[in-house]
A and B are shown apart, each in its own frame.
Chain A
């Protein structure tokens, strides 16, 4: 508190410490003493110093900025343009991509797969997020209680997260195999599901299986971030709350949850933004099948571009995906900010 800068109005009476180029001089403040020749010169010198600072900053930032423009900006613009063009294999030979207006969007939306892919994307995203979050939060709360070996066990929990997604896909594909998979053998062994259900090859089960695998993948991330958030809540608050009679569920409801809210927002928004575009795990497990049972907007976009070589339609679906995740983030962050402000 003591070293906080004095409030404005008194600043111009105090000489600026040397080298503090960051603090802007209160130029033009009413009642400031008339600037003499010396003041003019110093101000001009400071201005050129500021300009040099700005140039240096720009030089440091430039390579990364150029990369971001080339590898994020350009693809978005290019994709936007492609979505209005007939962009197919022949384009690569002839160099011609005729404009088709909203044609790509029309054929993409009217295709028989679209509504299924939309529904699957929604189910996959919501199912994965809810599962990951609930289990992740329970684990984070559980690991908050200190018990022997908790540190080691917590770091082991990270293992599934470190393994490349496509590797996890391959392993799960073998575990969920209909005839010889470990899961069905286990279930048959304990007489739970003796019929050897085809987890990945039955239309009614495939999406459930893919969601469960994705929940498994997301648990470590959720648990780790939420655990970090819990660590930041001061212990005294719980002591104070327990004096008021708030323990157990009440302590969670009135202390943990409100204070964890910002972290929860970040986890959920990131979760949706990442889950909505998941490709690896679905391609690795089912490739969108059987009979489009696990096809999402992302996998359909991939199939259109890179298997049917209709880049225009693939781009249109990609743009729809961007729009959805943008819309979600804006709506969610808005609603959340209002809740925090209140």
Chain B
């Protein structure tokens, strides 16, 4: 008590000095962020220009025009729907497989759980091009090229291992006694899993779903290699074929880029509080 009283004036002086210095830190951080986020700003800026082409694009969208967006929606609207279908399908499929596996790895002491976790880590070293190479020939035989289910299956290669790891880390924190109580009450393994474990893991499931969606939505490699026609074409590939040819309308290209980025950003803003809860549940551990 006495010591705090004695040092009080010194502490306030120190605190004031620290606040002054910390506003300096804020300024520095804003400056750095401005540089980091310039490409994002530029994308939005160009997308709102009448037509960013031969002449230099103005630094600010003084005359806002939605010409880029109407062209983009007209030409890429279908691809956006395809992306949405593939990404949502991949979320459902990944969680359906990953959640039970994560539960088994977290709450059953089985010999092969270490083998399985090691396999997951190893799978991260396999380049996508190797998977695509082999899948192309297999898909060709199975008639899965240029199909939404084919892309869903392939795109889940990114989501499933990640979802297993993140959900397992979270489920490890659920007390065993809760599950055992349900088992004692006569619930089978499946019942305990569905009615006790899954509801308790909501945050982890939402986090895993979000990232699985982002992975599948951003997929470019499988779209590039496993589709050969325009019938089934995700927006990432639509954008690539835009920039692959000589570009004379950058505002439409950038409008497509914005449209392809929006779902990710919207989802993260909506799900942010679950993600924070889901990742602190031990995802990094």
Please give the distance in Å from B41's CB to the nearest CB on chain A: 10
B126, A57: Cβ atoms closer than 8 Å: no
Whether B214 sits at the interface, judged by CB under 8 Å, is: yes
Interface of chain B: mostly helix, strand, loop or mixed: helix
Whether B203 sits at the interface, judged by CB under 8 Å, is: no
Residues of chain B with a CB closer than 8 A to A63's CB: 96-97, 100-101
B101, A306: Cβ atoms closer than 8 Å: no
Per-residue CB contact flags for chain A residues 123-158 toward chain B (1 = under 8 Å, else 0) read 000000000000000010011011111100101111
Known: A72-B126, A280-B221. A22 touches B109 (CB 8 A): yes
19 A-B residue pairings within 8 Å (CB atoms) = A56-B104, A61-B112, A61-B113, A68-B119, A68-B160, A71-B157, A72-B126, A82-B134, A87-B137, A147-B26, A156-B37, A164-B217, A166-B240, A182-B38, A182-B42, A284-B240, A284-B243, A301-B133, A322-B125
CA A170 – CA B41 in complex, angstroms?
14
- CB interface residues, B 25-56, toward A, < 8 Å: 25-26, 28-30, 32-33, 36-40, 42-43, 46, 52, 54-56
CA A91 – CA B137 in complex, angstroms?
10
Per-residue CB contact flags for chain B residues 135-154 toward chain A (1 = under 8 Å, else 0) read 11110100000000000011
Whether A100 sits at the interface, judged by CB under 8 Å, is: no
Residues of chain B with a CB closer than 8 A to A326's CB: 125
B125, A172: Cβ atoms closer than 8 Å: no
A315 contacts which of B40, B109, B133, B254 (Cβ < 8 Å)? B133
Residues of chain B with a CB closer than 8 A to A79's CB: 130, 133-134
B134, A78: Cβ atoms closer than 8 Å: yes
Please give the distance in Å from A53's CB to the nearest CB on chain B: 6
B104, A174: Cβ atoms closer than 8 Å: no
Interface residues of chain B, those whose CB is within 8 Å of chain A, are 22-23, 25-26, 28-30, 32-33, 36-40, 42-43, 46, 52, 54-57, 96-98, 100-101, 103-105, 108-110, 112-113, 116, 119-120, 123-138, 140, 153-154, 156-157, 160-161, 164, 176, 180, 184, 189, 193, 214, 217-218, 220-221, 224-225, 236, 239-240, 242-244, 247, 250, 253-254, 257, 260-261, 264-265, 268, 272, 284
B260, A167: Cβ atoms closer than 8 Å: yes
Whether A283 sits at the interface, judged by CB under 8 Å, is: yes
Known: A61-B105, A165-B218. A174 touches B253 (CB 8 A): yes
B243, A164: Cβ atoms closer than 8 Å: no
Known: A71-B153, A284-B240. A150 touches B26 (CB 8 A): yes
- CB interface residues, A 155-184, toward B, < 8 Å: 155-160, 162-175, 180, 182
Per-residue CB contact flags for chain A residues 269-307 toward chain B (1 = under 8 Å, else 0) read 010011011011001100100000000001001100110
CA A144 – CA B89 in complex, angstroms?
39
Residues of chain A with a CB closer than 8 A to B103's CB: 60
Interface size on A, residues (CB 8 A): 90
Whether A19 sits at the interface, judged by CB under 8 Å, is: yes
Please give the distance in Å from A335's CB to the nearest CB on chain B: 18
Interface residues of chain A, those whose CB is within 8 Å of chain B, are 19, 22, 53-54, 56-61, 63-65, 67-68, 71-72, 74-76, 78-79, 82, 87, 91-92, 139, 142-143, 145-150, 153, 155-160, 162-175, 180, 182, 185, 216, 219, 225, 228-229, 263, 270, 273-274, 276-277, 279-280, 283-284, 287, 298, 301-302, 305-306, 311, 314-315, 318-319, 321-322, 325-326, 329
Residues of chain A with a CB closer than 8 A to B240's CB: 166, 170, 283-284
